[in-house]
């Protein structure tokens, strides 16, 4: 009996079209555009100026405050602009544009591919290395990792939980990294365990990645303290709270952080980035991105430099199909639809999904038939039909009482609704307004 979370959940078609596609390195573009805000928290402040020459891996923007992250150049070349560019949503964000000239890396990075198993750094040095490398949550949340690894005093981390679930349909980047870089990931996990003084690490992997489970189990058997936990194929198995409940059986209270139950959760791609930072002194400037979609000619997993335009990635996968209706950054359940496909790949871009009109078109919303299916699939035990109604009528106090702030925006309710009501759209709106109300209260 596979472990899973207790409430709700759905099982959309997995459509892992790019599964098994080996990671290919995408050629470096002629120009990269690196946004200054690729993470949760304050945008980084630039430390280079227009006209400067930079090398691959060089620091180009400094973290601005505690909850922020460093940003490094992913190419070598000349900084041509530090200006506003249009991001994927069409809005203007500050970014550093670098014209590429060859690919010279900073000398500190160990370019050698040799696997290094022994961690020589101390706990503090590990955290410092992670902070310097600008590592953020690679699953898409982009939370600065060093902040997660320094819990507030009085909180002790018992478990390190590694999210190898990749529950979103279509995405396979984590799966490939697990298959190709398993040993490195284990060392990364050991570094993280050392950083938070956790005695046990549990890697949660969804049961549709049996090869990865087997591979990891073989390696983990030789190592102390790391356990592999196969999980039932259910969305959103990879949600932080759901994963903690499934793996160690503890439920994070409403409004609380995972550290309150002694858990720290990290994405498996982040663990790999930690290995590179700690053992190879390599900052985060490239990542594996899945390009996929039913009409895409050759879906695959590509190792891309941060700042590469997404159009180049799409071209490598065979070009934009004619029946393209939506281009989504991320997975189909929680990804963001893009309007500007020349926008750059950022640290949080786990996949580019191209959907055709048949799959993308939203049906006309009808009356709520009170079937209760949204209630039965909600993983947080909320009542989406009620939250939608309260959000539409702007009853913010009632929304707070109905625990709208607990919503993880997984999208299971909208996915299930037979009347095709845009439940999550309104719930998100209500959540934002309620958060503002709560903030203004203080």
Partner 1 sequence: MNKLFISPSPHIHSGDSIEKNMYGVLIALIPALLCSILLFGIGAIIVSLTAVLSCLFFEYMIQTFLLKKRASIFDGSAIITGLLLAFNVPSNLPVWIIIIGALVAIGIGKMSFGGLGCNIFNPALVGRVFLLISFPVQMTTWPLVEGISTAYIDAQTGATPLALLKEALHTGQSVSDFLTSETFIGYRSMLLGNIGGSLGEGSAIAILIGFCYMLFRKIITWHIPVSIFATVIVFAGILHLSNPDQFVDPFFHLLSGGMMLGAIFMATDYVTSPMSQKGMIIFGVGIGILTVVIRVFGAYPEGMSFAILIMNAFTPLINRYCKPTRFA
Partner 2 sequence: MSTIIITIISLCAIGVVSAVILYFVAQKFKVEEDPRIDVVDGLLPSVNCGGCGYPGCRSLAEAAVKSDTLDGIYCPVGGADTMNKIAEALGREIKVEAPKIAVVKCNGNCDNRPRTSQYDGARSCAIQHSLYIGDTACAYGCLGCGDCVTACTFDAIDMDITTGLPVVNEKCVACGACVKACPRSIIELRKKGPKDRRIFVSCVNKDKGGVARKSCKVACIGCGKCVKECPFEAITLENNLAYIDFEKCRLCRKCVAACPTNAIQEVNFPARKVEVNMPKPTPTPKTVEKTTEVAIETPKVELDIKMTRVEEPVEVVVETPQVSTIEEKQVETVQVTEIETVPSFQAEEQQADAIKTEEIQAELAKITEALREENPELKTQEEVKTINN
The pattern of x and - marking residues 373 through 392 that bind partner 1 according to CB under 8 A reads x-xx-xxxxxx-x-------
* Whole-angstrom Cα Rg for the chain: 21
Q: Is 90 in the site for partner 2 (CB under 8 A)?
A: yes
> Which region among 63-71, 212-220, 304-312, 317-325 touches partner 1 (by CB under 8 A)?
317-325
- Cβ closer to partner 1: 18 or 191? 18
> Rounded to the nearest 10 degrees, what angle do helices 173-180 and 210-220 cross at?
40
Dist. CA 65–CA 62, nearest whole Å = 9
Contact by Cβ (8 Å): 55, 72: no
Contact by Cβ (8 Å): 238, 167: yes
# residues contacting partner 2 (CB under 8 A): 16
Instruction: Select from 360, 395, 405, 435 the one that contacts partner 2 (CB under 8 A).
Output: 360
Q: Which helix (H) or strand (E) element contains residue 327?
A: strand 324-329
Q: Is 199 in the site for partner 1 (CB under 8 A)?
A: no
Beta strands at 159-164 and 263-267: parallel, antiparallel or unpaired:
parallel
Least Å distance between CB 209 and partner 1?
21
| Contact residues for 248 (Cβ-Cβ < 8 A; gap 6+) | 159, 161, 202, 261, 263
- Cβ closer to partner 2: 103 or 357? 357
Judged by CB under 8 A, the chain residues 208 through 247 that form the site for partner 1 are 241, 245
Q: How far apart are the first and last CA of the chain?
A: 46
Judged by CB under 8 A, the chain residues 306 through 345 that form the site for partner 2 are 337, 339
> Which region among 28-36, 97-105, 131-139, 406-414 touches partner 1 (by CB under 8 A)?
406-414
# residues contacting partner 1 (CB under 8 A): 67
> Which region among 91-99, 100-108, 264-272, 335-343 touches partner 1 (by CB under 8 A)?
335-343
State the binding partner of 335 from partner 1, partner 2, none, CB within 5 to 8 A by kind. partner 1
The DSSP line for 164-232 is: E---STT--HHHHHHHHSHHHHHHHHHHHHHHHT-SEEEEEEETT-HHHHHHHHHHHTTSTTEEEEEE-
> Which region among 37-45, 138-146, 206-214, 251-259 touches partner 1 (by CB under 8 A)?
251-259
Instruction: Select from 253, 315, 365, 438 the one that contacts partner 1 (CB under 8 A).
Output: 253
- Name the residue with tokens 């022994």: 118
Neighbours of 400 (CB within 10 A): 18
Binding region for partner 1 (CB under 8 A) = 6-7, 10, 12, 169, 241, 245, 251-254, 320, 322, 324-328, 332-339, 341, 353, 355, 357, 359-363, 366-373, 375-376, 378-383, 385, 403, 406, 409, 411, 414-420, 422, 424-425, 428
């Amino acid at each position: 009996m596979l472990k899973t979370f207790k409430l709700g959940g759905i099982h959309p078609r997995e459509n892992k079209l790019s599964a098994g596609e080996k990671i290919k390195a995408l050629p470096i573009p002629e120009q990269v555009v690196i946004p200054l805000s690729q993470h949760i928290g304050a945008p980084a402040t630039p430390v280079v100026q227009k006209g400067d020459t930079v090398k691959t891996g060089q620091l180009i923007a400094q973290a601005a405050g505690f909850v922020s992250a460093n940003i490094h150049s992913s190419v070598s070349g000349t900084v041509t602009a530090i200006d506003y560019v249009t991001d994927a949503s069409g809005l203007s964000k500050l970014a550093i544009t670098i014209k590429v000239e060859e690919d010279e890396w900073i000398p500190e990075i160990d370019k050698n591919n040799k696997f290094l198993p022994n961690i020589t750094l101390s706990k503090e040095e590990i955290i410092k290395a992670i902070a310097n490398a600008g590592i953020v949550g690679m699953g898409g949340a982009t939370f600065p990792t060093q902040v997660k690894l320094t819990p507030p005093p009085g909180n002790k981390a018992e478990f390190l939980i590694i999210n190898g679930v990749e529950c979103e349909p279509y995405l396979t980047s984590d799966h490939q990294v697990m298959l190709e870089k398993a040993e490195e990931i284990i060392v990364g996990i050991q570094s993280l365990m050392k950083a938070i003084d956790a005695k046990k690490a549990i890697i949660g992997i969804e049961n549709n990645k049996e090869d990865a489970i087997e591979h990891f189990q073989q390696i983990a058997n030789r190592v102390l303290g790391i356990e592999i936990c196969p999980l039932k194929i259910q969305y959103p198995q990879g949600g932080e709270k759901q994963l903690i409940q499934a793996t160690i059986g503890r439920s994070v209270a409403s409004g609380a952080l995972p550290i309150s139950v002694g858990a720290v959760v990290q994405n498996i791609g982040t663990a790999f980035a930690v290995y590179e930072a700690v053992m190879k002194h390599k900052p985060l400037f490239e990542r594996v991105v899945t390009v996929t979609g039913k009409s895409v000619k050759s879906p695959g997993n590509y190792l891309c430099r941060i700042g590469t335009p997404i159009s180049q990635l799409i071209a490598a996968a065979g070009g934009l199909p004619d029946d393209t209706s939506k281009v989504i950054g991320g997975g189909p359940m929680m990804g963001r639809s893009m309007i500007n496909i020349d926008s750059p790949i950022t640290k949080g871009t786990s996949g580019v999904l191209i959907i055709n009109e048949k799959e993308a078109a939203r049906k006309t919303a009808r009356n709520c038939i009170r079937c209760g299916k949204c209630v039965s699939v909600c993983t947080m035990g909320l009542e989406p039909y009620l939250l939608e109604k309260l959000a539409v009528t702007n009853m913010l106090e009632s929304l707070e009482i109905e625990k709208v702030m607990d919503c993880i925006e997984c999208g299971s309710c909208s996915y299930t609704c037979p009347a095709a009501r845009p439940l999550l759209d309104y719930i998100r709106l209500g959540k934002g307004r309620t958060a503002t109300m709560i903030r203004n209260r203080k």
